[in-house]
Structure 1
Amino acid sequence: MSFLRFAARRLVEMAATLAGASFLIFGAMHLAPGSPASFLLAGRSASPEALQAISTRYHLDDPFLLQYLRWAGRILHGDFGRSITYRTDVSRLLADRLPATLLLVVMALVLVVTLGLLLGWIGAVRGGAVDSAVLVSTTVAVGTPSFVAAVLLQGLFAVKLGWFPSGGTGDGVGDMIWHLALPAVALALYLIGMLARVTRAAMADVLGHEHVTVARSRGVTGHHVIRRHVFRNALGTVLTTGGLIVSTLLVCTVLVETAFSVGGVGQLLELSTTTKDFPTVQAISLIMVGLFMAVNLVVDLLHPLVDPRVTLGSRKATG
């Protein structure tokens, strides 16, 4: 299957999946207990006329399907609606908070890829006590949830030692990186352990293959064998975890941003869910689904480049 044909087919599938996800996201918010009107009233009693005015303004009394179609039509034109809590456009809220979240995710992703691949490489190649140390450390990392890591890091390095800020995002790129250092470590810790273990297992498996033994018997240097024959062949297995890594980063960002009071999209999602801010929750959830599918598409397109044995459209490539 040609590259363009495969990409076009996947884009059509993504559009259909995104449409289905949008319906589920919109419906899930309306099935949740409570209503935006109760939050807007802040617990105060209101006359039927006042309740009707709120319902009319936000179209809460319209049939569900009509509400969904109206909302989906606005989304297609780039209009995510107006926040019930903040009384402003959701697009403006996202634009204000997105830079902090993107920087946090990028910092965490750099840590995950760098340390995860390095630890997995070292564990598989060195073996012995070094491998045991890698296994123990990665087991601890995998067994530490992001919100637990956030509390521990904040308590030790921010509160007790005072080396890093305990929260906030700072001003300017440099200050933002400094404020987001601890949140990035907390966000990346679990995934570093997971990627290291996947890399180690994949490389250890390839080390036992016949072509590696043949290469060594022909006098090929050890470093060249590891880089050219072992790591390259193991990279296909490692790449398949890319979608899981990104989806975990997106989900855990909510917990980490809340713990460190980072004014990003994750914290906005948590606050909007609490206050029944339907338009904001729906917009953020839909964007997260879209990002996850985009990452999976990129992984599928890169897989044949990493592993020539995989063809576009094959079961292995799309898995």
Structure 2
Amino acid sequence: MIATPIARASRSRPLGRMLVVRVLGTIGILLVLSIVVFSMLHLAPGDIVKNLLGNRPSSPDAVAAIRAQYNLDQPLYMQYLIWLGSALTGDFGQSIRLQDSVSSVIGARVGITASLSGLAFALAVVVAIPLGVQSAVRSGSWIDRFATGFGIVGLSAPTFAVGLLLLYVFAFYLPIFPVYGSGDGGLDTLWHLVLPGITLALGLGAIILKLTRTAMLRELETDYVTFGRARGLPDRQVHMIALRNAAIPIVTGASLVLTFLVGGTVLAETTFALPGLGTLLQGSVLFKDIAVVQALTLLVAVTIATIALLADLAYIFLDPRIRAKETAQ
């Protein structure tokens, strides 16, 4: 009775060390990424001061004042250190284009992008994983052929083309859904996000479906499945065991496609005129609004790193072999 909690504590210590190591590695990657993005933005052609002043005549004193206001008169490494010191306290500076704090600008738009990404990912997972399982279990049937066709269309159709097609059919020809905008909040916003969510979910679901089908086919050909069927286990139980063993590649694929949502949201938000982070990033890059681009890049990197870390932890809980290997190290 005493050995059990001691054994659990001994297993938790290596796992805790693993988590600390991966978190520290993630922080290091984020630091390097912030340096690279900050440097590339300053090396890109164009002048922030000219973008801000436009075609208005300006004196050298006015230009110098603007450069001093945004620390543009400092060396590049000092600009980065000033930004990093402020960012660690939660202050990401001021948007040159929108003349507002970066935190306020991102906070006003992050809800739309998060809702759109969550809806698209939920639709993709709910449809693709059961369809991929059934496609593998009933290989050669009409379900398998339908899933194969769905995967081909989802992988080959561009996001903007799918969005325009859905707009024409379900917003213009059949006026069921709204054409553009994010609605007035609550269910109205959710209703506005249905078409953009389906647009993004089509490509994501195709990838998850292919990964699920491939992983299930591989597991269904293993010896333990043959042995289970020979023992008289119900097909449903055998399929659930196979799905559990195929969960690691499925989780890997799902976590990867979730990170790709950032790029897809730019096209979807532009097509459906949604005021989200995708359109904010697009406008900020064109205007060379460094503070906003830097903060958005860091936000995206933190999101991707968090998803990767959660996927790693999911591997440990899904596969006892990985858990035993991590404990033994």
Normalising TM by the smaller chain, what interval?
A: over 0.9
TM-score (norm 1): 0.95
Deviation, structure 1 residue 311: 3.3
The one-letter code sitting in structure 2 at the alignment partner of 1:67 is Q
Deviation, structure 1 residue 313: 7.3
Q: For structure 2, which runs of at least 5 residues remain unmatched after alignment? A: 1-12
Q: CA RMSD in A?
A: 1.4
Q: Percent identity?
A: 36
The one-letter code sitting in structure 2 at the alignment partner of 1:150 is G
**Cα distance in structure 1, aligned partners of 2:320 and 2:252:** 15
The one-letter code sitting in structure 2 at the alignment partner of 1:250 is V
- Matched with 1:136 is 149
- Matched with 2:65 is 53
- Matched with 1:40 is 52
Is the contact made by 1:167 and 1:261 (CA closer than 8 Å) also made in structure 2?
A: yes
User: Structure 2 matches for 1:1-319, cutoff 5 A?
Assistant: 2-128=14-140, 129-228=142-241, 230-311=242-323
TM-score (norm 2): 0.92
SS in 2 for 1:80: coil
The one-letter code sitting in structure 2 at the alignment partner of 1:182 is L
Deviation, structure 1 residue 255: 1.4
Deviation, structure 1 residue 48: 2.0
- Matched with 1:317 is none
**Cα distance in structure 1, aligned partners of 2:278 and 2:298:** 13
Q: Which moved more, 1:41-50 or 1:23-32?
A: 41-50
Q: Which moved more, 1:262-271 or 1:303-312?
A: 303-312
Is the contact made by 2:207 and 2:253 (CA closer than 8 Å) also made in structure 1?
A: no
**Cα distance in structure 2, aligned partners of 1:82 and 1:165:** 34
Q: Could you give the per-residue CA deviations for residues 87-132 of structure 1, whole angstroms, max 9, x where no partner exists?
A: 1101011111111111111101101111110110111011213212
**Cα distance in structure 1, aligned partners of 2:324 and 2:18:** 7
Is the contact made by 2:317 and 2:323 (CA closer than 8 Å) also made in structure 1?
A: no
Q: Could you give the per-residue CA deviations for residues 176-199 of structure 1, whole angstroms, max 9, x where no partner exists?
A: 100000011111110100100100
Is the contact made by 1:6 and 1:312 (CA closer than 8 Å) also made in structure 2?
A: no
The count of aligned residue pairs is: 313
Runs of 4+ more than 3 Å apart = 311-314
**Cα distance in structure 1, aligned partners of 2:212 and 2:295:** 35
Deviation, structure 1 residue 245: 1.2
SS in 2 for 1:142: helix
**Cα distance in structure 2, aligned partners of 1:285 and 1:312:** 36
**Cα distance in structure 1, aligned partners of 2:50 and 2:255:** 38
Is the contact made by 1:242 and 1:296 (CA closer than 8 Å) also made in structure 2?
A: no
Q: Which moved more, 1:187-196 or 1:139-148?
A: 139-148
Structure 1 residues 290 and 312, CA, compared in 2 at 3 Å: closer, same or farther? farther
Is the contact made by 2:112 and 2:274 (CA closer than 8 Å) also made in structure 1?
A: yes
**Cα distance in structure 1, aligned partners of 2:148 and 2:304:** 29
Is the contact made by 2:208 and 2:254 (CA closer than 8 Å) also made in structure 1?
A: no
The one-letter code sitting in structure 2 at the alignment partner of 1:186 is T
Deviation, structure 1 residue 66: 0.2
Is the contact made by 1:242 and 1:295 (CA closer than 8 Å) also made in structure 2?
A: no
